[in-house]
Structure 1
Amino acid sequence: MSFRPLRIIRVVVLACASAFALPSHADWAQSTLLDAVQPAPTSFALQAQNPPSFTWSRHPKATATTVYTIEIRKGAGTPVRYTSTRNWFLPAAKLEDGTYYWRVVASNSPTEWSSERSFVINPNSSLFEVPDNAVLRTRATSRARPRMLPVSFQPYSQWNAARIAERGASVKALTNDVVGHIPILEPVSDSLWPLTASSSNTTAFVSQQSQIRNRLNNTTHQLEAASLLYKLVPNQTYLNEAIKRGDELAALNPSGPTSFINQDQGTRIIALSLAKAIDLLDGKLDSARRARWVEVVRLRGIDMHGDLAGNNGRLDQFPYDSHGGNNLGFLALVASLMLNEFPEAREWFDFSTRAYIHSVFAWSGPEGGYSQGTAYAVVVADGALKIWDPLTELIGVNLYEKPWAKGLAKYYAQFLPPGQPVHVFGDGHEDKPYLPILKAFVSRVATSESRWYFNNIGGTEDALTLLLAPSPLPVTRSPYANAPYNGGVYPSIGFAAIHSDLWNPVRTSLYFKSSPYGAYNHSHADQNSIVLMRNNKTLLMETGWYDYYGSPLWSTWYRETKAHNGITFDGGVGQPTSGNVLNLRRKGKITAFSTTASLDYVEGDATAAYDGQLLGAIRKVWYLRGKDQIVVLDKLTSAVARKFEWNFHAPVAITRNADGTSTIVNGTEKLCIQPLTSGTTFETRSGAAPKAGTYEAHAAYTRPSATKAEFLMLLDVGCKKPPAYLTTTSTGRTLTIGGQAITLPQ
């Protein structure tokens, strides 16, 4: 499974006011910059987390010494004031239930309060408290090394029968893994990678980046695995292997090809793995070797911290940096492990730890989910597994208990249900989900939905992370195993899932996207698009494949609207993607969602996604659950006449039928598509060459050129051909499918 996350650095100098000058506007806390942090919470929104995180854009005249005062008022009560040197605030203690109002003022403009915003705390808000830095530091340093091991950790020789039954196989797997790699894992050295960041736009450099990442992932895994195995089974062979791999990593030049500027993922994994090994092998490293390893961690940490702390903490203002967000977590854990080893560790800790806990939902709201699609949501889980268990042991704050993490686990179940063959939405959508990571993440989340998902997906967690997990696994604490609701919506990312019966392997699954994140970063220009599966066979697919970020294929077909099941016009013109940050204004929005036993409904507005090319782009979708039928209504308007196109794609041939309908047959499952209004024409389309070994078919229904168009389409799952009647009255229209009626707008 190979992913190539984008590293976006938004360079803004904050040391002087003139460098951050912005057009004046009524509320300075709401930046005019598309990629700046948004004020939150707001609009009387019920908060998933208690206490909530507060964010606002920096004051236009902010400097590195600006201090913010946050005023929080419950109802008509007396406001309570707090201060923060950064443009976010996470209270250390819970708030009582009630309706709250808040505002903020900057020290450099002490009379210019932001607009007042509101939010609600009630019993449905989950308690998640994060103490202040001083408390967290004391927790991290109060334990003897190894600090990162669970308090229940024991050498294998002391395990009882229950522990052996639970995890004995993992010890055997870890042993086989370490021993098996001793003779075959080739050493890493700087000489393997001659290119530098000056070659960053070349195919050769992209290849080298992947090589560095893969080789270092293998070596660091071996270092950590051998170190942990030695703690479990104190065999000199395992200690020797850990020392050998640690020495290899420590010998890599922090300013060489694995430096932060050349490969930030390389620097962070080297720093973290050496820090973990130093902790696990405490007392077993000679003083000179230990000092050398510690110094490498310090030097690489300086580069990580320097980047993240630049521009007065650049992620505070511009959080949409997937590498930066992960790097912040790596730095927090490195700092926690290295406290009292060198002075910089305390500075890193205070800078990164609470900031990381506060900001892990940068790619969604606090309800969870991941706007960049499910493939990169699995990458998030992979990073969490490297960081969260050890960090929990060190600081006593369990990130798996954060409402965002619980929401992410439910998001996995909704959008990657058991047996689903591919991801949905965004880069990597064509890849097969990697179940060991999914299973590992949800195993730490003690909810009934996670237990159901854990029980029903395959995969075996990597022995290294499993043996560092709490025992028994937190998911087993839930007394029930219940599938999530058949319909689920994540409004902050614009994702909706509708299932006939989520618990059933032979389910129908319909996915809808209309995202406020637009086509930003790893997202695609697919607002108001759908994906349809039945019995884990794809009927309406997303096309193209992810060779690498920024490739010619990625920049054209793969991300374009016409490669998805969405609306284009005039021969494939869709939602623009040029200028990455501009994609944040080319956005969609889920404007309505409901789910009942018989009928689900979702509505999206993708007008802004077309960036002025259209005056209206509204899609409404009904799912008739009892009949397994889907109705899709698109209403489109333009200032100039356009030939509108209703694109759809399949992994098998699309058959055009004489009556104007079309049929898709994928193994045992089939779909018939029927236009329900006259004047709609079927057209075969072509696309980019598919990935080797795969097949893609492309088609579209079109309307004659006009300033307004409507597509009313029936997706007949199973090709049952129910009778369909459209009745128009003076007050509206009624569509009856197999005896079930739905009301349509005029």
Structure 2
Amino acid sequence: MMENVALASFGTRAWADSFAPWYRIDPVHDGRRNEEDETGQLGKVRWLSRSTHEPHWVVLLFPGTQWVSLARIYWPRERGRFLKPERYWLECWREGRWQACEETSRVEHEDGQYTEIRLRPLSTDRIRLYMPQGGGACGGFEDMLGVSEFEVYSPSPRRGEPSTVIVLESRLDSRANPFLITWMPIPGALSYAVQYGRTPAFEGNDVETLETTRNYAMPRRAIEPGRWYCRVAPVLGSGRGEWSNAMQIDVGEVRYCPRSFGLWTGGHPRLPWVPRDRARLLSEIDGPKGRLFRALIDKADKASIGHVAQLRNMQSHADEAEALPEEPPPFDRGIWQIERWREIVAAGAKVLEAISLYAYAYAATGDVRYRDQAKKWLLHAASWDPLGSTGIDSVDHAAHDVLVGLSIGYDALYGELTEAERRAVRQAMEARLRALWRYLNPFVLDETNNHPWFQTNALAIGALALWDEVEKAKEWVEFAVLLYVGRFLALGGADGDWHEGSDYWTYTMGFVIEFVEAVRAVTGLDLSDHPWLHQTAAYKLYTAPPGAPVLTFGDTHKRPAGSEDAAILFYLAGRRRDALAQWYALAALEQEEPVRPGLLIRLMMWWDPSIPAQAPENLPNIKAFREVGVVIARTTLKGPDGTHFAFKSGPYHGVLAGHEHADQNSFILHADGEPMIIDSGRYDYYGSPHYYGWYIRTEAHNTLMVDGEGQLCQRPGADGKLMHVRPADGAVYFAGDATKAYGGLVDRFVRHGWLFLAREGDAGDLGLLVLFDDVAVDKARTIGSRFHFSLVPSLVKNEGGERRDGPIPFVFQLAGERAAMRLHVHADTPLVHQLEKGYPPSSAPSDGSLDEYHLAFFTSVPAASFTALYVVDLYRRGTSPAEVRFVDTARAVVTKGEAVHTFLFRRKETGAQLEHAGWIASAASLVMSEAGYGSNRLWIMQAQSVRWQGKEIFKSSQPVDLLWKDVPASDGPHANEELILFSTHDQTVELFGRSVALATGAKRISPAQFT
């Protein structure tokens, strides 16, 4: 009788080339087949690889050599079908390499549930299922391999010691430098040898080897950015074991090496949640923080603790009257359900809020009533099952909150607890810590998602509270620090970017700061000098200035700046004595009264009133966040007046799911505080029918649709590219390429744009936006663009609609209380339009429909190419709109007040030069603005040659941006002009027949020196 030697219970280990978010290796050989799908059981019944265009595999490592002759692979269920790959085979390890197993038969179950492969009997200590690049199941899973159960049978099974072979994932993209790798620990290993070099053969002078007793490693210094390879071998009692496969690592440029830990603080309290200097606190509450302190004490005096979620989608709607919540029940039959999830989240949040609140109040006042309340909550939460509904394998938000709450209470009340009470709390904490440690190590989660960030925060805080009582606690802290440095903080690059939007920036930053401060308080290691933390306040300032419209992409409640944001900016202000961050925090605090107890404690801890505040008087109005591909432009950062605009075209940061949308080359536009063109939909809750059916999809965003299809949604490859951004003299040119995001549906989709910000002193002008779409597809298709509004748009008669040839343009208008807008649309193919209100019934928001309007323009007949020009005129109600004349679909003349703007764009397909009023340029775009600014302006973007009346003025091998000020429109360049050249790198160009050296950046030149 044959036995399944693949089972974990047999002693077989398993690993894979990669892991989709939330997925782990355990389901591959846990004995649970695919009789049910994973609805509500994410990551518990199957393993999935990352969705990347490369080979994928899963390997079984037997406890010694096995004689095998049969394998059965149960494929994962997915929406009524099984994800059986189109191409795959089995391989065994022979002669130091993988070789295909010889099959004698292959039987596919009729509905694809499993495949049975009979093998010519072979002896091997490992076997793997291999899928070549692109060999996955049809229907969007071509680049992903999945397994519910991998069974391998032997007629003569041999039990033995677990395999000592280490298997690494195939590759790692590390923004951090140096990188961090992890691997499955080997039982009995004394240590590990870790080797990295520039070639997979590990040859040459750049090969370095280090030894560690941990199952993770980070080089001791930053290395040259670029491609590296790494391998690991266990060091056993018999010597060094077999080298692992080589992991390919692409190392980025965010260089940061954490310093060593200092002297660890013993005794209690040691965590930074309760005030230690009561005299200092009393002096502080005589000042502006007094109202916060009084609000905090007022909450401590109330009979119950309510649930106030940081994010609206997490808010529980259950009765909040109970003073001490019972441990919430687990999910029914283990199946996730939104209201039970919210119930569990609320219970965990109450534990954290209550213990933090009462512990703080006791430390601040010495009133034993608060001590007794804190103790009651602490012992109550310690009685909850660490592996139950609030455990890490159930709801990680609650797992975080309960563990951190226990840690704060244990630390703050240590001297007030009996030994038996300490033991009860410590055992509960240790059980939760060990579960979390197994969950995070080895690290196979998606670091671009905020969940591992707060999971790691809990691991560190709990371990810091117990570091001198639990043997492994110091290692847990060390690992948490390396995760933050090696995987998390570097993701935003050196400019402070954040890919999950403004709300999740605030939400995640709270955990980041608490982690940084807890580590600093106990170990002396200060991570607040990380380059991302130095710069990230700018992200919040530009996406959500106090009192101004929120301009953010992805999952967001579009929440204006408030007290949660204030706490974060107070902290950032305090670490660098940043007057601008202090201004933001004070202004945000005025917008919203803090309610959540944990927030009041953050404000008390992080607000330093001695730091002066400085409003953003001289900051640029335009900011590009290149890591996430977002451009933001505002007339002002101090309020709603004028123009507020954001454009997105950047890399997709997630692996699967996450908080990013299918919104490449989309934009948002406000004027005088009123929404003109919006991101559509509501973030009711993650995974809702509205969320998946509308909110994250391309049709909810202001971008392109092809044959009714949008971009890849929350999948790798859904990338845009911010090709170019150039702020210059009150305007900004930008260009985004969203071609890849359509997954092969389009051959080209490049969107060029110009935004002219509202001019001060013009009572009617609120700005001008001009977009040019250049699209090509493989065959004739229906192509169209979408626009979304919260105000009702209406069609305007084309009073003239002048053009040289082609279809007559569309003009739509809408108006708010103060601002108005006209949208002019002209394409090279006849268009039809469709205006709808609301959403399809199957994807309406769960908490009520929004009054939103959706305008689509699409080609009346299929086309293989498409160019369109959009002019968006913003003006105050009661004033006259601009006059727009389309010359063709790549050229428009806009008369706005006293200014006349002529816009020209280059069609990629023709590559023709741009010609206007004697100027001829080989460039991406040219704009001539006459008068209106008191003088004329000429912008030429991405130019490689410029001629005036046949005379060559400028020539370069690499593109350069040019801005001419005071240039006469009719008779060419003169000596009284100012010319600014913008170059993205050092180069030499020809200007007026002479060689001119350009350094990266801007160079101002007076043409007089060439005459």
TM-score, length-scaled by structure 2:
0.62
1:45 maps to none
Distance change (3 Å), C-alpha of 1:158 and 1:422: closer
The correspondence for 2:421, drawn from 285, 289, 293, is 289
1:451 maps to 582
Mapped contact 1:55–1:87 kept (Cα < 8 A): no
The one-letter code of the counterpart of 1:715 is V
* Other structure's SS at 2:559 match: coil
2:385 maps to 253
Per-residue deviation, 1:677: 5.3
Taking every aligned residue pair, what percent have the same amino acid on both sides?
A: 20
1:417 maps to 545
Mapped contact 2:178–2:222 kept (Cα < 8 A): no
Q: Is 2:460 the counterpart of 1:343? A: no
Report Cα offsets for 1:509-563 as digits up to 9, x if no partner. Answer: 2111123117842211111100111222211111122233222222222222111
Per-residue deviation, 1:493: 1.8
* Other structure's SS at 1:614 match: coil
Residues 615-654 of structure 1: pairs in structure 2 closer than 5 A: 615-625=747-757, 628-654=767-793
Report Cα offsets for 1:165-186 as digits up to 9, x if no partner. Answer: 1433222121111111448543
The correspondence for 1:432, drawn from 546, 559, 580, is 559
The one-letter code of the counterpart of 2:867 is E
The one-letter code of the counterpart of 1:302 is R
The correspondence for 1:685, drawn from 829, 835, 858, is 835
Q: Which has a greater percent of helix?
A: 1
Per-residue deviation, 1:389: 2.9
Q: Is 2:878 the counterpart of 1:716? A: no
Distance change (3 Å), C-alpha of 1:713 and 1:102: closer
The one-letter code of the counterpart of 1:154 is D
Q: Is 2:363 the counterpart of 1:195? A: no
Further displaced range: 419-428 or 279-288: 419-428
Distance change (3 Å), C-alpha of 1:235 and 1:470: closer
The correspondence for 1:215, drawn from 327, 335, 347, is 347
In structure 1, C-alpha distance between the alignment counterparts of 2:616 and 2:873, rounded to whole Å: 29
The correspondence for 2:664, drawn from 527, 539, 550, is 527
2:794 maps to 655
Distance change (3 Å), C-alpha of 1:337 and 1:259: same
The correspondence for 2:676, drawn from 520, 524, 539, is 539
In structure 2, C-alpha distance between the alignment counterparts of 1:218 and 1:670, rounded to whole Å: 46
1:68 maps to 194
1:174 maps to 296
Per-residue deviation, 1:33: 8.3
Distance change (3 Å), C-alpha of 1:453 and 1:144: same
1:9 maps to 23
* Other structure's SS at 2:729 match: coil
Distance change (3 Å), C-alpha of 1:677 and 1:353: closer
1:673 maps to 823
In structure 2, C-alpha distance between the alignment counterparts of 1:56 and 1:353, rounded to whole Å: 13
* Other structure's SS at 2:414 match: coil
Residues 508-527 of structure 1: pairs in structure 2 closer than 5 A: 508-517=643-652, 520-527=657-664
In structure 2, C-alpha distance between the alignment counterparts of 1:353 and 1:362, rounded to whole Å: 13
In structure 1, C-alpha distance between the alignment counterparts of 2:211 and 2:776, rounded to whole Å: 47
2:231 maps to 106
Per-residue deviation, 1:111: 12
The correspondence for 1:604, drawn from 711, 736, 745, is 736
Per-residue deviation, 1:89: 6.1
Distance change (3 Å), C-alpha of 1:642 and 1:102: closer
Mapped contact 1:329–1:356 kept (Cα < 8 A): no
Mapped contact 1:527–1:588 kept (Cα < 8 A): yes
In structure 2, C-alpha distance between the alignment counterparts of 1:20 and 1:485, rounded to whole Å: 54
2:371 maps to 239
Further displaced range: 474-483 or 362-371: 474-483
Residues 387-426 of structure 1: pairs in structure 2 closer than 5 A: 387-422=515-550, 424-426=552-554
Distance change (3 Å), C-alpha of 1:168 and 1:537: same
* Other structure's SS at 1:584 match: coil
2:110 maps to none
1:307 maps to 439
Per-residue deviation, 1:374: 2.1
Mapped contact 1:423–1:433 kept (Cα < 8 A): no
In structure 2, C-alpha distance between the alignment counterparts of 1:117 and 1:411, rounded to whole Å: 26
1:46 maps to none
In structure 2, C-alpha distance between the alignment counterparts of 1:661 and 1:177, rounded to whole Å: 55
- Structure of higher RCO (CA pairs closer than 8 Å, 6+ residues apart): 1
Q: Is 2:401 the counterpart of 1:269? A: yes
In structure 2, C-alpha distance between the alignment counterparts of 1:350 and 1:720, rounded to whole Å: 61
Report Cα offsets for 1:230-265 as digits up to 9, x if no partner. Answer: 111111100111011112211222233223222222
Mapped contact 1:220–1:245 kept (Cα < 8 A): no
Further displaced range: 595-604 or 475-484: 475-484
Gap runs ≥5 in structure 1: 1-5, 25-31, 42-48
Per-residue deviation, 1:491: 2.0
Per-residue deviation, 1:293: 0.8
Q: Is 2:286 the counterpart of 1:164? A: yes
1:145 maps to 268
In structure 2, C-alpha distance between the alignment counterparts of 1:258 and 1:364, rounded to whole Å: 31
In structure 1, C-alpha distance between the alignment counterparts of 2:623 and 2:520, rounded to whole Å: 30
In structure 2, C-alpha distance between the alignment counterparts of 1:639 and 1:338, rounded to whole Å: 62
In structure 2, C-alpha distance between the alignment counterparts of 1:107 and 1:182, rounded to whole Å: 53
Mapped contact 1:675–1:713 kept (Cα < 8 A): yes
Mapped contact 1:8–1:320 kept (Cα < 8 A): no
In structure 1, C-alpha distance between the alignment counterparts of 2:294 and 2:514, rounded to whole Å: 21
Mapped contact 2:545–2:637 kept (Cα < 8 A): yes
Distance change (3 Å), C-alpha of 1:383 and 1:684: same
Per-residue deviation, 1:408: 2.7
In structure 1, C-alpha distance between the alignment counterparts of 2:814 and 2:782, rounded to whole Å: 25
Mapped contact 2:276–2:363 kept (Cα < 8 A): no
Per-residue deviation, 1:619: 1.0
The correspondence for 2:616, drawn from 461, 465, 482, is 482
In structure 2, C-alpha distance between the alignment counterparts of 1:671 and 1:58, rounded to whole Å: 57
* Other structure's SS at 2:276 match: coil
Mapped contact 1:188–1:249 kept (Cα < 8 A): no
Who wins on radius of gyration, i.e. which is larger? 2
The one-letter code of the counterpart of 1:451 is Q
* Other structure's SS at 1:364 match: helix
Per-residue deviation, 1:468: 5.8
In structure 2, C-alpha distance between the alignment counterparts of 1:700 and 1:490, rounded to whole Å: 29
Mapped contact 1:40–1:56 kept (Cα < 8 A): no
The one-letter code of the counterpart of 2:773 is D
Mapped contact 2:635–2:644 kept (Cα < 8 A): yes
The correspondence for 2:719, drawn from 587, 590, 593, is 587
The one-letter code of the counterpart of 1:732 is L
2:965 maps to none
In structure 2, C-alpha distance between the alignment counterparts of 1:232 and 1:375, rounded to whole Å: 31
1:29 maps to none
The one-letter code of the counterpart of 1:262 is S
* Other structure's SS at 1:215 match: helix
Mapped contact 1:371–1:523 kept (Cα < 8 A): yes
In structure 1, C-alpha distance between the alignment counterparts of 2:927 and 2:451, rounded to whole Å: 48
2:210 maps to 83
In structure 2, C-alpha distance between the alignment counterparts of 1:680 and 1:118, rounded to whole Å: 48
In structure 2, C-alpha distance between the alignment counterparts of 1:557 and 1:151, rounded to whole Å: 44
In structure 1, C-alpha distance between the alignment counterparts of 2:490 and 2:257, rounded to whole Å: 19
In structure 1, C-alpha distance between the alignment counterparts of 2:181 and 2:597, rounded to whole Å: 41
The one-letter code of the counterpart of 1:495 is V
Residues 540-579 of structure 1: pairs in structure 2 closer than 5 A: 540-570=677-707, 572-577=708-713
Distance change (3 Å), C-alpha of 1:621 and 1:284: same
Distance change (3 Å), C-alpha of 1:354 and 1:56: closer
Q: Which has a greater percent of strand?
A: 2
